[in-house]
Amino acid sequence: MVTDIESVLFDEMTSVNSQLISLASKVKLVDNRYFVNNSGMIDEFIENIHEFLKQVDIHRRKVSSEQLNSDNLFHIYQFLDLKNLVHCCQLVCKSWKQTLNRVNFTVKVDKSKTMIGQLVKSSLITNVTSLRMQHPTSDMFKSLSSCKKLQNLKTLDLNYSRLGKTAVKYLAKCQMPNLTELKLNNASNFTEIEAKELFHSSSLLSNIKKLEIQHEMSKEFIEILSNSKYLKNLSHLNLKSLKMETGNYGLDLCLKDKNDLERLEIRRFNLTNYPKLLTDGSFMNLTFLDIAHCSISNRELGDLLVSPNLPKLATLHASCSSTDNSIIELPTDIHTRSSLTDLNFSNIASFPSLANYCTNLLKLTIIIPSIEKKSSNALIDLISSPNLSNLKRLDISCWDEIFEILFTSPNFTKLEELHSYPTDFRNTEELLTTELILNCKTLINLRLFQWYGMRQVTSEEGEEAFFKNPTFSKLNFDYQEFN
């Protein structure tokens, strides 16, 4: 019935609209006396038009009000947990429930079997896009395996879960056709047997693009990952070993044919066993590379910085473990790496020409443990370079000479965040003088200044000087304990 009246209304409004257009053109042609002689009919005509417009306005206001309430509810729902949404919000009224159906949820479920049961039975299960399970039991995986409404689930977080034989059996049966991200950091009871069943026999992983796993990377475990047909099309891979792997356990095979990788994080691997692994042309699409806490030679690290086979690399985290003190002179006859915008580096003393590869950096992290002469001189040379003029964030080991450069150099006018770290935790001397703060005219865009573990970075007068100098009108600053 509603559809019929709407159809009739549409047809009549279309017809009247055409007549109004015709009337408007004819009104222009008649004599003014026409309106005097027919004033009664014209007044009635105008009143009818006003009544029509009044009804239209009522409906428009109602629709606008409902849309506003729906949008406000949608925003509020983002801050409520699943329990309140299921047992309270969706029971209030029809409009609340309809709005709730628009919300995508990130759900965190603890080891309560009741909670996962309620989630699976709820109509909101189809809205869940991310599921984090804390200490799940085998029964919880059994409940998930029977659910057929997880078609919108994209991320499954099983960090620190017990993934024994029974749990993996049910997990492998779960129907999550659009799952693209799986997190398996520090999973217990997850032996090579369970890994083989999950990575080789489960269609659960058929569309996986992002895999994050921290495990003891035995030779057998690496082989299982390498031979999985479901991991060929990964775009993100985070592979962390629980201990430094000194042997050649097949990391090269694990990364073989991963040509679609855009983000790669590998921890605690001895990369000296895999010369040119990352620069042989297999990772042309790589934009993010984190090899922190890996062992790598300075020569290999230098090749990473200048390799033409990493043309899209924008982020490089390379605070690596190394006893290599050799000096690497990066070539000057090639173009600087224009794509690199985020660099985390530690062994700066071995790379005196590093600044030549920092021309487009927006974020730089240089943390050195102590004021050792070679490293401290290298850091002073680096931050004195005009090639850092585009920096927006700087995380850096600081002492008085570093602060002197940061607060006086014209290179840091675009800097928005400064995070300073101590080089000697016992240092109690004033590192940043009141005079330096008051006279600073260059840090005009600095919005955040944090120092970690340096209670005496400046005096009370120095802190007050930040408020007196108009250069720091945008600034918030904070002290954080160093962990």
User: How many CB atoms within 10 Å of residue 121?
Assistant: 13
Query: Mean pLDDT of all residues in the chain?
Result: 84
Look up residue 329 and give its two tokens. 């002179």
The CA distances from residue 378 to 9, 153, 295, in Å, are 79, 49, 21
Alpha helical stretches, state H, 216-296: 219-226, 251-255
Residue with tokens 């057998």: 220
The CA distances from residue 174 to 141, 148, 166, 177, in Å, are 8, 8, 13, 9
Alpha helical stretches, state H, 407-480: 434-439, 460-468
pLDDT value for 246: 58
Q: How confident is the model at residue 330 (pLDDT cuts 50, 70, 90)?
A: confident
pLDDT tens-digit profile of 110-129? 666 566 777 777 777 888 88
Decide which of 248 and 40 is more confident: 40
pLDDT value for 63: 63
The CA distances from residue 336 to 74, 305, 385, in Å, are 47, 9, 15
pLDDT value for 5: 83
Distance (Å, whole) CA 418 – CA 462: 16
Amino acid in the structure at residue 171: L
pLDDT value for 428: 45
The CA distances from residue 357 to 280, 282, 307, 329, in Å, are 20, 22, 12, 12
pLDDT value for 275: 87
Top-confidence range, 125-134, 237-246, 422-431: 125-134
Residue 125 and residue 147 in contact, taking contact as beta carbons nearer than 8 Å: yes
Residue 449, pLDDT above cutoff 70:
yes
Look up residue 353 and give its two tokens. 């020409």
pLDDT value for 395: 95
Amino acid in the structure at residue 283: F
Residue 445, pLDDT above cutoff 90:
yes
Burial label for 10, CB within 10 Å (0-12, 13-18, 19+), is: exposed
The CB-side HSE value for 284 (13 A sphere, CA atoms) comes to: 4
Residue 235, pLDDT above cutoff 60:
yes
pLDDT tens-digit profile of 142-160? 988 988 888 999 999 999 9
pLDDT value for 364: 95
Task: Give the residue-averaged pLDDT of 401-425.
Answer: 89
Residue 310: partners with Cβ closer than 8 Å, 6 or more residues away: 278, 279, 283, 284, 286, 289, 304
Amino acid in the structure at residue 406: L
pLDDT value for 66: 55
Q: How confident is the model at residue 203 (pLDDT cuts 50, 70, 90)?
A: confident
pLDDT value for 7: 84
Distance (Å, whole) CA 362 – CA 364: 7
Residue 25, pLDDT above cutoff 70:
yes
Distance (Å, whole) CA 250 – CA 472: 52
Distance (Å, whole) CA 433 – CA 436: 5
Task: Give the residue-averaged pLDDT of 199-206.
Answer: 89
pLDDT value for 392: 96
Residue 276 and residue 248 in contact, taking contact as beta carbons nearer than 8 Å: no
Domain boundaries, the chain: 36-103, 362-483
Residue 370: partners with Cβ closer than 8 Å, 6 or more residues away: 423, 424
Q: Helix, strand, or coil here: 401? A: helix
Task: Give the residue-averaged pLDDT of 354-369.
Answer: 87
Q: How confident is the model at residue 94 (pLDDT cuts 50, 70, 90)?
A: confident
Residue 92: partners with Cβ closer than 8 Å, 6 or more residues away: none
Residue 65, pLDDT above cutoff 70:
no
Could you tell me what percent of the chain has a pLDDT over 70? 85
Smallest CA-to-CA distance from 166 within 127, 129, 137, 209 is with 137
pTM: 0.78
pLDDT value for 453: 63
